């Protein structure tokens, strides 16, 4: 369970809170670096597994996919959708992102997506769209949980290497 993975690095109450947050969150912002050093950000719908691996679907031709193929070190944020300053909360992460190539890894990615997006997975058109693209995987090596609801500037950080 993702909470168990987080408990290795965060206090138990924070690990539970982050696990619940990730369960409900659906969109992440992926930051990559282009060929000329230019930053690129893209929003992606994601699912994650119990080992804190994040998956999304994208075209290998998209800018962020081309960028991470050449430069796999990326940053990812997942945030709570609330514009009030004292309610800002979410994850900031750094790590590596790669194209999912092995059948077993594609199976894991598909299962994570079906678990998170069950309503969409039952839709034949969605399944067709997913199967026509590629899965990508992000494995964080550093995570920061920020939560202004606990106090302005509250954060907990962990190296996951």
Q: Alpha-carbon torsion 42, 140, 134, 114, what sign?
A: negative
Given a cut of 90, whether residue 83 has pLDDT beyond it is no
**Class in CATH terms, 2-159:** mainly beta
Cβ neighbours around 103 below 10 Å, total: 8
- For residue range 44-82, list pLDDT tens digits in order: 999 999 889 999 999 999 999 999 999 999 999 999 988
Encode pLDDT of 138-151 as tens digits.
Answer: 999 999 999 999 99
Q: What is the pLDDT of residue 66?
A: 96
- The rounded distance, in Å, linking the Cα atoms of 10 and 4 is 10
68: which 2 tokens? 């991470």
The answer to which of 4-18, 44-58, 69-83, 115-129 has the lowest mean pLDDT is: 115-129
Mean pLDDT of 9-13: 89
Give pLDDT, residue 129. Answer: 80
pLDDT at 1: 61
Q: Which residues pair with 125 in a beta bridge?
A: none
Residue 69: per-residue pLDDT: 95
Hey, where are the domains in the chain? 2-159
**Cα-Cα-Cα-Cα dihedral sign, residues 137, 89, 31, 74:** negative
């Amino acid at each position: 369970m993702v909470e168990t993975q987080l408990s290795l690095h965060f206090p138990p109450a924070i690990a539970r809170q982050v696990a619940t947050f990730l369960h409900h969150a659906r969109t992440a912002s992926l930051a990559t670096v282009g060929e000329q050093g230019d930053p690129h950000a893209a929003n992606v719908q994601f699912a994650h597994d119990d080992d804190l691996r994040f998956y999304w679907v994208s075209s290998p031709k998209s800018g962020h996919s081309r960028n991470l193929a050449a430069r796999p070190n990326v940053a990812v944020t997942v945030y709570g959708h609330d514009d009030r300053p004292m309610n800002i909360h979410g994850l900031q992460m750094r790590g590596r992102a790669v194209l999912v190539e092995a059948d077993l890894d594609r199976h894991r990615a598909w299962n994570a997506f079906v678990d998170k997006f069950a309503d969409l997975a039952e839709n034949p058109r969605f399944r067709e769209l997913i199967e026509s693209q590629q899965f990508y995987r992000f494995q964080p090596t550093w995570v920061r949980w920020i939560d202004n609801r606990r106090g302005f500037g509250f954060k907990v950080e962990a190296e996951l290497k």
